[in-house]
Amino acid sequence: MKKAKIKSVGAPKEYVNDKGTFYYFQIEMDNGDKGSIGSKDSSPSFLSVGAELSYEFTETDKGNKIKRVNENPFKGGGKFDSTGQMVGACQKMAVDMYIHGKFEDIKRVESTAKWLCEMSIRLKAEFEGK
């Protein structure tokens, strides 16, 4: 993955297929990379001169391709967060236990979620032989 600032953006070229309308822009980065980048938007906000862009750069026989990489894991493109998924699942289980009357004090939801997470971590370590 590369990261650079956009130096110039050419006028869009429209391309229509069965998946919709796409717009391709010739852009130049401040590190010298030049290539084509596509968008479903005819005027995407991420393609402004001076904006920093994280991207993958590919040279092809049809020209250089630039593909934007989203570094924010909460908007896609990020790495899978198994710990976050486990914590969310434990919180959901604790809330479900409260809703179904397994305990009456809502203040126990957090401590129950922590206990479930600790148990999950312990069981995972045992399963993996650690």
* CATH number, domain with residue 18: 2.40.50
CA gap 66, 68 in Å, rounded: 7
Q: Tell me which residue range forms the domain holding 105.
A: 82-127
| In a shared domain, residues 12 and 68 | yes
| In a shared domain, residues 46 and 86 | no
Residue 66 near residue 4 (C-beta atoms within 8 A): no
- Local confidence band at 76 (pLDDT 50, 70, 90 cut-offs): low
| In a shared domain, residues 62 and 35 | yes
| In a shared domain, residues 18 and 59 | yes
Q: Which of 70-99 are b and which e, b meaning 16 or more Cβ less than 10 Å from the residue's Cβ? A: eeeeeeeeeeeeeeeeebeebbebbeebbe
% residues pLDDT > 90 (the chain) = 49
| In a shared domain, residues 48 and 93 | no
| In a shared domain, residues 113 and 89 | yes
The pLDDT of residue 2 is: 94
| In a shared domain, residues 61 and 106 | no
| In a shared domain, residues 63 and 121 | no
| In a shared domain, residues 69 and 11 | yes
Q: Is the pLDDT of residue 16 over 90?
A: yes
Question: In the chain, how many domains are there?
Answer: 2
| In a shared domain, residues 37 and 11 | yes
**Higher model confidence: residue 55 or residue 88?**
55
Give the dihedral of Cα atoms 55, 60, 62, 64; nearest 10 deg: 30
Residue 37, burial from CB neighbour count under 10 angstroms (0-12, 13-18, 19+): buried
